Amino acid sequence: MIHNINKFRASKFAIFIISIMFLLCNNSAKSQTAELIYVDSGAFNMGYNYPSNGEWWYPVITPVHRVFVSSFYIEKFEIFKSQWDEVYNWAINNAYIFDNTGNSKDTNFPVYNINWYDAVKWCNARSEKEGLTAVYYTDSLKNSVYRSSKIDLKNNFVKWNEDGYRLPTEAEWEKAARGKLDGNYYPWPSSGGSYTEHLDSSKANFDGSNDPWENDMVPSAPVGYYNGSQVPSGVDMANGYGLYDMAGNIIEWTWDWFDSDWYNNIQSVSPDTKGPEDTASGAKTLRGGSWHSGEKFGLLCAFRLSEHHPDYTGAACGFRCVRRDKNSSGFNNSFLKNQNSVLLNIYPNPFSSLVNISYYCPDEIKVCLKIYNINGQLIKTIYDYKQTKNIFYLTWDGKDNSGNELSNGIYFIKIESKNHIPITGKIHYHK
């Protein structure tokens, strides 16, 4: 009798263990591990390519301009609490000082209440913890790793060629968010019509998405879980690169200082642009929108939030990391190895008042840039001087050598230099 009871108890215990394993497997969508996703190199159209309806934010995210970004790796998920804690606990025992400890609803929810300075320091700590070279330093000499205090880092305080963790630039973030879908409103197929027509509550956690956490004091969702309907056997809601929460849940810090007129600056089309060196705004750019985004333009791939200084913390503000692809050939090797002058970018194109032209000069030579009409007649000599090896930026106002405004139509730019193959490009002028 006792033997039978023991067999019965053993059987019940086995069923209990199997049940627990089943529950764990079916809740696997609710627990995550850190993972980096590869984003290939190449140019993409950055900015908002739809007409204005008088939106206040429209001038900030236009004009569309083509930007080259070298390959890199980006976090599959927003940084979640257990991931933050592991690095944070290591860091405070290794000379790091943070302003904030980081908050979250649970271990697999995104960490928030992190200011920009702490996000940057955490990236350095994660690099050092994993035996990688830290990328952020306290000055341009790059001898002292940035581990404490609030320093408004400049672009030349960063070892960009190292493969340690860092915040994405705006260009990197937007390229990753688009998931190979240039010209779409959101990280999912969403082109044409109005951006409000393409909103999908199954693909992003935003104010009004009716997810299971909608009524929480901080209604963030577990990273990668969206509105709670995604289960292991369901449809994968990642974007084209396999990234989650690039729209909604928690808005994300980027590296760049915010400049409302940056997209009209010719430097914005330089390869691997890192944004302005600093700005009068004193604000860093945040991307992606959050659970707080009631007005859905905040979820647009192109939207740039500009109102927060780097010491800002909030319950809807977090980040994710990127790392350089050390095997990347980069811009200079893959595009300029023929050692000829290269026309990099013409934007906006078509243009109505001013077009920006960027080109690469491979060595110290005399370079001539000329504009021709469709009949091959010289219209304008923009530049005819000796230059050093570098990337250069010029503008043209649609006028000829005499200062006369030209007619609407197609024109051609030609770059000529001694012993180099001439380069041409097409420009559409429509005033």
Q: Per-residue confidence at 288, pLDDT binned at 50, 70, 90?
A: very high
385 in the same domain as 324: no
Q: What's the N-to-C CA distance of the chain in angstroms?
A: 97
**Predicted confidence (pLDDT) per residue in 398-426, tens digit:** 999 999 999 999 898 888 877 666 777 88
Total domains in the fold of the chain: 2
Q: Which residue, 313, 337, 361, sits at the end of a domain?
A: 337
* 88 within a domain of the structure (yes/no): yes
235 in the same domain as 141: yes
* 30 within a domain of the structure (yes/no): no
Q: Which residue, 286, 317, 337, sits at the end of a domain?
A: 337
- Residue-by-residue DSSP string for 97-127: --S---B-SSTTSBPBS--HHHHHHHHHHHH
Domain region containing 296: 35-337
Predicted local distance difference test score (pLDDT) of residue 165 = 98
Q: Per-residue confidence at 40, pLDDT binned at 50, 70, 90?
A: very high
Cross-strand partners of 66? 45
292 in the same domain as 411: no
Is the per-residue pLDDT at 17 higher than 60?
no
Question: Which position has the higher pLDDT, 307 or 136?
Answer: 136
134 in the same domain as 251: yes
408 in the same domain as 272: no
319 in the same domain as 206: yes
* 11 within a domain of the structure (yes/no): no
**Predicted confidence (pLDDT) per residue in 201-235, tens digit:** 888 899 998 888 999 999 999 998 764 555 544 55
Pair 99, 150: CB distance under 8 Å: yes
**Predicted confidence (pLDDT) per residue in 332-391, tens digit:** 443 334 445 667 778 788 888 888 888 777 777 788 889 998 888 899 998 777 777 777
Is the per-residue pLDDT at 113 higher than 60?
yes
380 in the same domain as 299: no
Q: Which CATH number do you get for residue 415? A: 2.60.40.1930
* 20 within a domain of the structure (yes/no): no
Is the per-residue pLDDT at 58 higher than 50?
yes
* 2 within a domain of the structure (yes/no): no
Q: Which of 252, 255, 196 is nearest to 223 (CA)?
A: 252
Q: Which of 306, 251, 257, 302 is nearest to 278 (CA)?
A: 257
- Distance in angstroms (rounded) separating the CA atoms of residues 32 and 82: 10
**Predicted confidence (pLDDT) per residue in 144-171, tens digit:** 999 999 999 999 999 999 999 999 999 9
Q: Which residue, 308, 337, 366, sits at the end of a domain?
A: 337
343 in the same domain as 270: no
Beta strands (DSSP E) in 248-354 are: 251-257, 284-287, 317-318, 322-324, 342-347
Predicted local distance difference test score (pLDDT) of residue 236 = 67
> What is the residue-averaged pLDDT of the chain?
84
187 in the same domain as 93: yes
Predicted local distance difference test score (pLDDT) of residue 383 = 79
pTM of the model: 0.76
Q: Which CATH number do you get for residue 267? A: 3.90.1580.10
Predicted local distance difference test score (pLDDT) of residue 235 = 54
* 423 within a domain of the structure (yes/no): yes
Pair 35, 76: CB distance under 8 Å: yes
376 in the same domain as 281: no
Predicted local distance difference test score (pLDDT) of residue 342 = 66
65 in the same domain as 99: yes
How distant, in Å, are the alpha carbons of 59, 133, 161 from that of 142?
36, 12, 13
Instruction: Report H helices in 27-80.
Output: none
How distant, in Å, are the alpha carbons of 46, 75, 271 from that of 133?
30, 18, 23
55-83: burial string, b at 16+ Cβ within 10 Å, e else: eebeebbbbbbbbbbbbbbbbbbbbbbbb
**Angle at the Cα of 288 (from 282 to 293), degrees rounded to 5?**
95
367 in the same domain as 228: no
> What is the DSSP code (8-state) at residue 23?
H
Predicted local distance difference test score (pLDDT) of residue 63 = 86
Predicted local distance difference test score (pLDDT) of residue 31 = 56
* 211 within a domain of the structure (yes/no): yes
Q: Which of 397, 394, 384 is nearest to 358 (CA)?
A: 394
- Distance in angstroms (rounded) separating the CA atoms of residues 214 and 75: 25
* 198 within a domain of the structure (yes/no): yes
